[in-house]
Each structure stands twice: as C-alpha cells, then as structure tokens.
Amino acid sequence: MCNTCNQSKQSSSMMSNLAHGILGVSKAVLKIDQLNSIGISNRRDICSKCDKNNGGICSICHCIISLKTTIKSEMCADTPAKW
C-alpha cells in the first residue's frame, strides 16, 4: 500500500472512531440504549481488571469506559470480547 493510501485509510479510521465516540457520548447523555445497573456493574468490574484499561480509557477503542459500559449495544473492544 502506498503512503498516500495508507494515510487515507488511517484518516478514515480516525473519522469512524470519532463518529462512534460522538454517537456513544450522545447516547449516554440522552440515556438512550441504556443497560440495566447490574449489567453496567458487571461490565465495569471486567474493565477494572483489564490490562487495556488506561486510566478509565480503553486503549483499544479509546472510549470512556464509564460511558461505554452503560450503552446496551456497545461491545468490549478486545478480541475475543470480554463482555
């Protein structure tokens, strides 16, 4: 892959991640697609022990874990997913 194509692919991926992040924050703020409190607690417990948790930010998807874990349609970013 040429350098220009590689930069274009990275830029596209960054835009996709940004759009995903804005949608996730919007859902959390507007309380849309919310998981129940037990499910949130279970997810947060898993994230709290995960080596990808970098001070409350997932180092794979760059999401804010306290918000990501509240959204029912979200999935753990790891492969295989932990929740």
| Binding residues vs ligand SF4 (CB under 6 A) | 46-47, 50, 52-53, 58, 60, 65, 76-78, 82
CA dihedral 51, 48, 75, 13 (to 10 degrees): -50
Q: Could you count the other beta carbons within 10 Å of the beta carbon of residue 4?
A: 8
Distance CA 43, CA 41 (A): 5
